[in-house]
């Protein structure tokens, strides 16, 4: 079959394979992004933790669990050690006791089994989704890393150092199982994703250290703000007791440390003491009961979960940990924020908001009842004095902004269907591996043959023959390279150039089906561009021009 669609209304021949790890702030943006990709005509599969099956399937996504509910619970409990133990934690032991190398191997197998060359894009959470880099290298399919907070691309070198010098043994075991050599160039491999996307707006990026010119910024996703029935089916209802509290004479302060356990041990105690010192009632949302201070102070009501889309606009303020999902929801609601930030991306997120006058924040050394109460009163007084919602509206993300940002992210991902990635490292010689190195040391494929390389050129194709690339880097159709449909395999423009191999090349997989004159790839590009909606065509033409410029083409 030739031609996969791109954009709204396209046939679901193209596949987007999404991988993410973490808690709500890391997973729900991928669920929402997956839904947008699904609506644009792509088949979407999400690989993540088992407890998110309901949310993924409610959004219409295929779901592959990377663990079990009990396994995720054990892992989540173990992450409670991270904020205070980063300097002393045995990271290798942490990975091994939580089975994270086995999880990485599982992800690679599941991804590789779903790849259709020329029809698939791998999309992983920035820094953690090593599986998309491994499968990109193994099968030559394009991969993107999507970051949910600026600290992820900013701290990529730190993460790379950890993986290279502490975790590389376990990673090499996984690589060996795939038939890949150990990583020779860690800096190059760790940055080998073909696209880096940031799910935050430019003003947030400019409010602190920039995330880098290679990161495509799209906007906050508001993953819990979707009026469609598929999302509402997965949302927790508002309990009657919470509704009564929100409609009472004194609006409470919402206190939340997010949905995970990776939190400073003193967070909830400091937040509750600050509320009590300020004389304000508290609505405490904590999924893990063991994290609650006992006994709870007076005027505190606890719930394991609440729908923040409904609750956030009704509270007097939100006192939280600085997670990206919580601060985004508070911005959208125009709710005053006080942030007790510690660990991970949280101090950076908090400082960016405070620098714009959108939040008050305190580092751990200042979490006294008096200082927390002072920050709460300052946030509430500013809201009363200045009209918080009017002041924040230009920077606050609304449903339309979130939808536009997710659409832009989807367009960036779709651009990778134009040019599949070339793997940066060849696998080692192993007759039992998925692939093995050919006689001349580049690589070949077994009897089912997709491609192999030799000294005559860059690539040949096996029995299903799609293309051969010569030393000039231009695709040449050969008499023996005839596709099952009887047309010759990719002519000029169908291989080796910036239009190669994707749905715009007119082919299936590597090369594209060209006419007998050998120019079918370029002609097919023109036909496909002409058939796209004007907006999508502009995006793709701009992407093609950018890639041509990068390659020095006229």
Report pLDDT digits (tens) over 107-119. 999 999 999 988 9
CB atoms within 10 A of CB 202: 12
pLDDT of residue 396: 64
More confident residue, 294 or 254: 254
The residue among 32, 161, 179 whose CA lies nearest residue 108 is 179
pLDDT of residue 457: 34
pLDDT of residue 263: 82
More confident residue, 99 or 1: 99
Tokens of 261: 């356990």
CA distance 453 to 215: 33
Task: Average the pLDDT over each of 77-86, 124-133, 215-224 and give the range with the smallest value.
Answer: 77-86
Contact 500/473 with Cβ under 8 angstroms? Answer: no
Residues 6 or more apart whose Cβ sits within 8 Å of residue 159: 127, 190
Predicted confidence (pLDDT) at residue 470 exceeds the cutoff of 90: no
pLDDT of residue 9: 43
Prediction pTM value:
0.71
Sole residue written with tokens 């987007």: 16
Average pLDDT over residues 223-251: 69
The DSSP secondary-structure symbol of 242 reads H
More confident residue, 7 or 497: 7
Contact 83/57 with Cβ under 8 angstroms? Answer: no
pLDDT of residue 461: 33
Predicted confidence (pLDDT) at residue 128 exceeds the cutoff of 90: yes
Per DSSP, what are the bridge partners of residue 469?
Answer: 459, 475
Which helix (H) or strand (E) segment is 53 a member of? helix 53-58
Tokens of 319: 């006192």
pLDDT of residue 292: 86
| 43-48 and 62-65 beta bridge pairing | parallel
Predicted confidence (pLDDT) at residue 259 exceeds the cutoff of 80: yes
The residue among 329, 348, 346, 311 whose CA lies nearest residue 397 is 329
pLDDT of residue 479: 31
CA distance 426 to 207: 41
């Amino acid at each position: 079959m030739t031609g996969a669609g791109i954009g709204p209304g396209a046939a679901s021949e193209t596949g987007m394979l999404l991988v993410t790890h973490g808690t709500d702030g890391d997973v729900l943006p991928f669920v929402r992004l997956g839904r947008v990709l699904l609506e644009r005509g792509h088949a979407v599969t999400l690989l993540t933790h088992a407890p998110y099956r309901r949310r993924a399937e409610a959004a219409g996504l295929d779901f592959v669990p990377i663990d079990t509910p009990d396994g995720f619970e054990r892992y989540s409990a173990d992450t409670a050690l991270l904020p205070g133990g980063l300097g002393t934690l045995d990271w290798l032991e942490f990975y091994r006791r939580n089975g994270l190398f086995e999880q990485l191997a599982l992800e690679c197998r599941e991804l590789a089994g779903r790849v259709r060359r020329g029809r698939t894009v791998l999309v992983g959470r920035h820094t953690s989704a090593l599986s998309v880099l491994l499968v990109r290298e193994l099968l030559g399919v394009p991969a993107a890393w999507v970051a949910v907070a600026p600290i992820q691309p900013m701290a990529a070198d730190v993460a790379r150092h950890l993986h290279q010098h502490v975790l590389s043994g376990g990673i090499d075991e996984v690589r060996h199982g795939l038939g890949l050599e150990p990583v020779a160039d860690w800096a190059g491999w760790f940055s080998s994703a073909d696209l880096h996307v940031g799910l935050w707006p430019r003003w947030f990026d400019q409010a602190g250290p920039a995330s880098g010119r290679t990161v495509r910024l799209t906007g906050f996703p508001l993953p819990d703000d979707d009026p469609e029935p598929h999302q509402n089916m997965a949302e927790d209802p508002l309990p009657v007791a919470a509704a009564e509290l929100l409609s009472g004479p004194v609006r409470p302060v919402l206190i939340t440390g997010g949905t995970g356990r990776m939190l400073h041990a003193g967070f909830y105690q400091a937040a509750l003491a600050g509320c009590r010192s300020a004389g304000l009632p508290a609505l405490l949302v904590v999924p893990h009961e063991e994290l609650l201070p006992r006994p709870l102070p007076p005027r505190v009501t606890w719930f394991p979960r609440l729908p923040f889309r409904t609750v956030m606009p009704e509270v007097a303020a939100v006192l939280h940990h600085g997670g990206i999902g919580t601060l985004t929801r508070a911005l959208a609601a125009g709710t005053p924020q006080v942030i007790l930030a510690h660990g991970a991306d949280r101090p950076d997120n908090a400082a960016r908001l405070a620098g714009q006058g959108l939040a008050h924040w305190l580092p751990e050394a200042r979490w006294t009842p008096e200082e927390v109460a002072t920050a709460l009163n300052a946030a509430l007084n500013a809201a009363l004095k200045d009209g918080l919602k009017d002041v924040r509206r230009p920077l606050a993300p609304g449903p339309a902004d979130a939808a536009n940002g997710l659409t832009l992210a989807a367009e960036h991902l779709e651009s990778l269907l134009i040019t599949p990635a070339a793997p940066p490292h060849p696998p080692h010689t192993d007759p039992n591996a998925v692939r093995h190195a050919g006689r001349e040391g580049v690589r070949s494929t077994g009897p089912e043959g997709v491609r192999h390389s030799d000294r005559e050129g860059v690539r040949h194709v096996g029995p299903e023959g799609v293309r051969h690339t010569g030393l000039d880097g231009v695709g040449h159709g050969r008499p023996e390279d005839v596709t099952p449909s009887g047309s010759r395999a990719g002519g000029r423009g169908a291989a080796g150039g910036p239009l190669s191999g994707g749905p715009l090349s007119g082919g299936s997989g590597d090369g594209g089906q060209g006419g007998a004159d050998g120019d079918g790839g370029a002609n097919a590009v023109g036909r496909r561009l002409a058939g796209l909606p004007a907006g999508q065509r502009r995006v793709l033409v701009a992407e093609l021009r950018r890639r041509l410029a990068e390659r020095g083409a006229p």
